[in-house]
A and B are shown apart, each in its own frame.
Chain A
Amino acid sequence: MSAGDRARDVLARLVDASATERILISLASLVLAIAVGTVLILVAGRMTTCSAQSAVYYFNVGFCYDPVLVFDRLFLGALGDPFRGGWSPDGQFSIAMRETTLLIFTGLSVAMAFRAGIFNIGTQGQMIVGGLAAALGTLWASPFLSGTVGTLVLVPFGILVGAVFGGLYGMIPGLLKAYAEANEVITTIMLNFIAGGVTLYLVSDVFKDPNSPANQTVPLPDYAQFPAVLFGSRQDFSLYALLFGVVMLFALYYVLEHTSFGYDVRTSGIQPEAAEYGGVDAAKTIVSSFALSGALGGVAGALYVTMVIGKFQAGVPAYGFDGITVSILAGNNPLGVGFAALLFGVLKSGTTVVQFATDVPPQLVGVLRGLIILFVAMPEFFRLIGRRLLPEEDKSRAVATDGGERIADSRASSDGPSDGGVSGGEDE
């Protein structure tokens, strides 16, 4: 058995893994990433200098950085130390939740497009456009209302405006792809730059807050921002927004799995020729999937404005790009996006805690974060690749270059890993 066969075997096993196995694989990957990270921290700790008092000692060897402390801060510190006394929701924990909430929406945005077979790199741009639109819309509407009524009307209104404009901005690459065959990866990347540039101009000139040196709009009145419940308002997090995100996770899952629109989307995503055969209008599906994807990105922008910073400011953090990783991590499954966003949110929150609590340089923390994401994402990534590769090689589709016939009864019901090594009949 050659190395290639063995690799194919592993791929086949990954592709066939059950849901429980996949969760176990992810957990094992996390442990492995921590193990590798530990080694890195120890090695880095040997290569720097520090006073004897501040060093930690393992087996009588002194290290400048303590991996136990680093990972403790990265995970438990990120959640505001739930196992120590005096835990309060209004601390580091709500930062983790805030990040999670925003990443749920950008992750869903990317996942939605992915399922339709589209690679939407433009979530960032759609988020920026949605954010500015939400800020301007809310500012325009806020003089008419105030108090609790204002909150009840203005917050949903801001989200709606963000969704509409994010959706419209998402439709642009959709239309270009559907009717001009423009590659969406290129157009969405370019549209990200356009979104960034145009909004920067708008908030540095037309809509600029005259009382502030920063490139930003006038702050939204308090009653037009997301109300904080349970959690204090200090960390700009609202439980309502998180609940809204969780509802959207299930909603998108339902749309994809239980509606005819979702059926069209999924069919186009995995087998466009069959979708065409089944009467799916490819162009319409691309445009509507892109619009929905953009709308989800726009909601992320609206939440960033109405929940986090309370105004629109140029230079929106890269939640949209993180959404791509979140979606891949989740295998593009809407429900999985929830877990992936949580992991990401915790890591983002933990990064700042580690920097406060230890001397570990931020670059090394970045490496640790990257390691964890890489390790957890890789099994899913290889599943994606395996699904693409294996049917071609192993399951006798498209083998004969001019459409050879499959022999009627061969391998009728055989599936599972036994399929793995059959392919390369050459090397015997």
Chain B
Amino acid sequence: MATAVHLDGITKRFPGVIANDDVDLSVERGTVHALLGENGAGKTTLMNVLYGLYHPTEGRVVIDDEERTFESPRDAIDAGVGMIHQHFMLVDPMTVTENITLGNEPTKWGNLAVDRDAAREAVVELSEKYGFDVDPDARVEDISVGEQQRVEILKALYRGADILILDEPTAVLTPQEVEELFDVFEELTEQGKTIIFISHKLGEAMRAADDITVLRDGKNVGTVAAEETTREDLANLMVGREVLLDIEKPPTETGETVLSVSDLAVDDDRGVRAVNDVSFDVKAGEVFGIAGVDGNGQSQLIEAVTGLRKLKRGSIVFDGEDVTKRPRRERIESGMAYIPEDRQERGLVMDFDLVENAILGSQHSPEFESNGRIDWESTRGHAEDIIEKYDVRPPNPEAISESLSGGNQQKFIVGREFERDPSLVVAAHPTRGVDVGSIEFIHEQLLELRSRGVAILLISSKLDEVQGLSDRLGVMYEGDIIDVVDPTDTTEEELGLLMAGQHPDEHDDAPTPDVDGVATGGENR
């Protein structure tokens, strides 16, 4: 078989970020290749390089044994590369035919008018050839998301694509539609087309791809044949084993239940169910960790708990009170601290200095405000305390947040939230992007809060972190907590399997009884 795509040593640098670091990728003609990795691993960047949206900082793009330099997607399309983005680029009120031929319409009367009949014919022919079931005259706004995706694929084929790139094609689809999509993949590869699809879901990659390449932190950490690998190996490749930090965890007495979540169902921004009837409790003096590959509903779960996302169903009880309907501000005021996943979007106002950011979330607390007036003097003192205790650099409270490095931004947020005197800390990736010394310090502080009887809900994609810090560890897969385990009795391999959605048949350690940890029909496929 010939090589359809060969990426040779692609490096893509953005200021302060290396999105792709010397990535090699080879894709055989007529195969399906999955690009697997967590959010931020550099998958989309790599494909944007292949599609001509980005110029690589270093490296070569070789298509069909010919080196290419793409100035724009137009060049890539001419070379037979088509890309279907996560968000479809279709004109809703126009018909399927119009959308597919848009920009390349067959014409008549000497290029004066669009030859609608010829266009329709071409579309019908194309969809018959690949066994697609689409109505050429339907308006795009009237057809399902799965059909829209097929229109996108047809559009790429109509433009002569031999290599199709799909960015997270299953994210918007129902399980049935996913199956149909994979059938389409088979049909296409039989006709000699090459498919590369981006995913962070192990199961899909195993199910649909011939070869799988795993990216982590912008690097290619391995290309494997789907038939010769296991979900477990893939999970380990994706999450990565980092140097294990020794976490000394003194035993503590757990107290009352601080947070009790029951039958929680939450949708993501697209309205797709992301969290499916999840229930768990967190007690005072306990770290409840949630492990899982990114994108399995963890973000939506914690946003629902902290009051940033509406729930579809279920209830949240905090400190004995039902806070399901309480707004975010009341949850903060009653002692819920939250280290958010996205520090630059949520955690800090990037144009504010550290003094102003020190009271984000407590701007109405009597500590800093009286009669509506903010006491900037005491706020400044508070900011200085955080900066000193958490070693934020530069140690200048007037520094604009934007000018700080990511790690220092994170330390400031962690400091602000820990100093709130909370009864519950919801910590999402608390050490992401932080240097090793500070990681240890943050871990110590977290355990210090735990020994003072604070309840901690920890979410991290670093396996060693959740395993080392948690007293109980729930594993999330496709919106369910499929099991709750004792992290000290569970091996990384077992966790890897759980994260891949497989329930080990023999499971010695009984899950904690107060948790509805058994998978609810999520044992898919």
Contacts and interface: CB of A to CB of B under 8 A. Distances in A.
Q: Which 10 A-B pairs have the closest CB atoms?
A: A279-B329, A406-B406, A399-B14, A396-B16, A277-B346, A426-B55, A408-B407, A278-B360, A412-B405, A415-B403
Given A273-B345, A387-B351, A426 B54 contact: yes
Contact of B359 (A263, A400, A410): A263
Contacts of A138: none
Nearest to B360: A278
B303 to A, nearest CB: 10
Contacts of B14: 396, 399-400, 404, 425
B238 to A, nearest CB: 14
Given A406-B433, A409-B407, A409-B435, A260 B15 contact: no
B19 A267 contact: no
30 contacts: A258-B374, A260-B374, A263-B356, A264-B363, A267-B360, A273-B342, A274-B348, A274-B360, A277-B328, A278-B332, A278-B360, A279-B361, A387-B351, A396-B15, A396-B16, A396-B17, A399-B17, A400-B17, A401-B45, A402-B39, A402-B43, A402-B45, A407-B17, A407-B406, A409-B407, A411-B15, A413-B394, A415-B403, A425-B13, A427-B55
B40 A422 contact: no
Contacts of A397: 344, 350, 402
Of A276, A405, A419, A423, most buried by chain B (CB within 10 Å of CB) is A405
A270 B351 contact: yes
Contacts of A387: 351
Interface residues of A, number: 47
B122 interface: no
Interface string A276-305: 111111000000000000000000000000
A39 B14 CA distance: 46
Contacts of B57: 425-426
Given A397-B344, A408-B434, A402 B44 contact: yes
Interface of B: 13-19, 39-45, 48, 54-55, 57, 217-218, 308, 327-329, 331-333, 338, 340, 342, 344-352, 356, 359-361, 363-364, 369, 372-374, 376, 393-394, 399-400, 402-408, 432-435
Interface of A: 258-261, 263-264, 267, 270-271, 273-281, 387, 391, 394-397, 399-415, 419, 422-423, 425-427
Chain A interface SS verdict (over half): loop
Nearest to B436: A408
Given A274-B348, A411-B405, A412-B393, A406 B48 contact: no
Nearest to A413: B394
Contact of A403 (B40, B218, B403): B40
A419 B15 CA distance: 9
A413 B393 contact: yes
Contact of A401 (B44, B349, B361): B44
B42 A400 contact: yes
A271 B17 contact: no
Given A273-B342, A415-B403, A425-B15, 12 more contacts: A260-B373, A270-B349, A271-B345, A278-B332, A396-B16, A397-B402, A399-B17, A406-B405, A407-B17, A407-B406, A412-B404, A413-B403
Contacts of B369: 260
A260 B55 contact: no
B217 A405 contact: yes
